[in-house]
Amino acid sequence: MPEKSEDLLAVAVRIAREAAATARRMRAEAINDVETKSTDTDVVTAADKAVERQVVEVLRVERPGDGVLGEEYGDTTSTGAVRWILDPIDGTVNYLYGLPQYAVSLAAEVEGAVVAGVVHNAATGDEWTATLGGGAWRDGRRLGGSGRTTLDQALVGTGFGYDAARRAHQGAVLAGLITRVRDIRRFGAASLDLCMAAEGSLDAYFEKGLNPWDHAAGGLVAAEAGLLVSGLDGAPAGQHMLVAAPPAIFPALHDVLVELDAAGGP
Ligand code: LIP
């Protein structure tokens, strides 16, 4: 008998809240051991690593057969059907600067399909959850996405990679898009961007270069809020592109992104 998504969500919510408390405590103590990864601006702090170690250890003890895919320590082995997908602190640059837009993002994947997810803003305590087929929720309120129907009235979220060559291409895409939409917002954490799109605080969101841990939980929240979440030209959402938008504006945004070669470049 497969586990109920609701039960997996309850585990995820409890663990994410504990992890967020650790992130807050460590930030209050001092940001230290800041290292860089792919570029000089792609940072990872001691808190990122400590939070991921905390989550991995709790899951190892409580759910010994499960696997974990985390941003900082990669994939652990699993003997069962469940794999947890974790970004310990999504929005690390915001965390470094003290901007209240960073989250613990934790999703449960069963036989390759994400069935439960939580995104917990570690700065504000705001929390979004979803289960496959069970809807998307924020603090007990069911989410239904934006009612926007035209792209020229849409407030569109996006983000940028850390590599200069990719940023140059993304900037060129933005230059072509910005006159076709109401406006652009860049908040710095994909999981929260997807949750804002799910609740209608953004009308849509897109980004090239996301990793599974960036969007596993937030992508389920957005999809369960009724948004279309995918890549371009029928591809699934992935590193080449993720687009999340209500059905009314998804086609127009999709076609502009194709026209601007948003999935292209380095
Ligand atoms: C971040 C993403 C964001 C992207 C940033 C960064 P991180 O993840 O959530 O959407 O634009 O460049 O990749 O690195 O803070 O976990």
Q: What is the pLDDT of residues 41-93, one digit of tens each?
A: 887 889 999 999 999 999 999 999 999 999 999 898 788 899 999 999 999 99
Answer yes or no: do 43 and 129 share one domain.
Answer: yes
Q: What is the pLDDT of residues 11-49, one digit of tens each?
A: 999 999 999 999 999 998 877 777 888 888 887 889 999
User: Last residue of a domain, which of 82, 110, 139?
Assistant: 139
**Sheet with 113-121, side-by-side order of all strands:** 74-75, 67-70, 82-90, 103-110, 113-121, 127-131, 135-138, 141-142
Domain hosting residue 221, numbered range: 151-259
Tally Cβ neighbours within 10 Å of residue 251. Answer: 12
Of 36, 51, 90, 186, the residue with max ligand 1 atoms within 8 A of its CB, to mutate for a pocket test, comes to 90
- Could you tell me the CATH number of the domain that includes residue 249? 3.40.190.80
- Looking at every residue in the chain, the average pLDDT score rounds to 96
Please state the pTM of the whole predicted model.
0.97
pLDDT for res 66: 96
Residue nearest to atom 11 of ligand 1 (CA): 159
E-state strands within the chain = 35-36, 43-44, 67-70, 74-75, 82-90, 103-110, 113-121, 127-131, 135-138, 141-142, 155-157, 183-185, 204-207, 228-230, 242-245
Ligand 1 site, CB within 6 A = 71, 87, 90-92, 159-162, 188-190, 207, 214
Residue 264 within a domain = no
Task: From the CA of 43, give the closest atom in ligand 1.
Answer: 14
Task: From the CA of 102, give the closest atom in ligand 1.
Answer: 15
Of 196, 214, 242, the residue with max ligand 1 atoms within 8 A of its CB, to mutate for a pocket test, comes to 214
Number of domains in the chain: 2
pLDDT for res 209: 98
Answer yes or no: do 188 and 71 share one domain.
Answer: no
Using alpha carbons, select from 252, 175, 245, 173 the residue that is nearest to residue 209.
173
- Could you tell me the CATH number of the domain that includes residue 81? 3.30.540.10
Distance of CA 75 to the CA centre of its chain: 18
Q: Tokens representing 62?
A: 């409580």
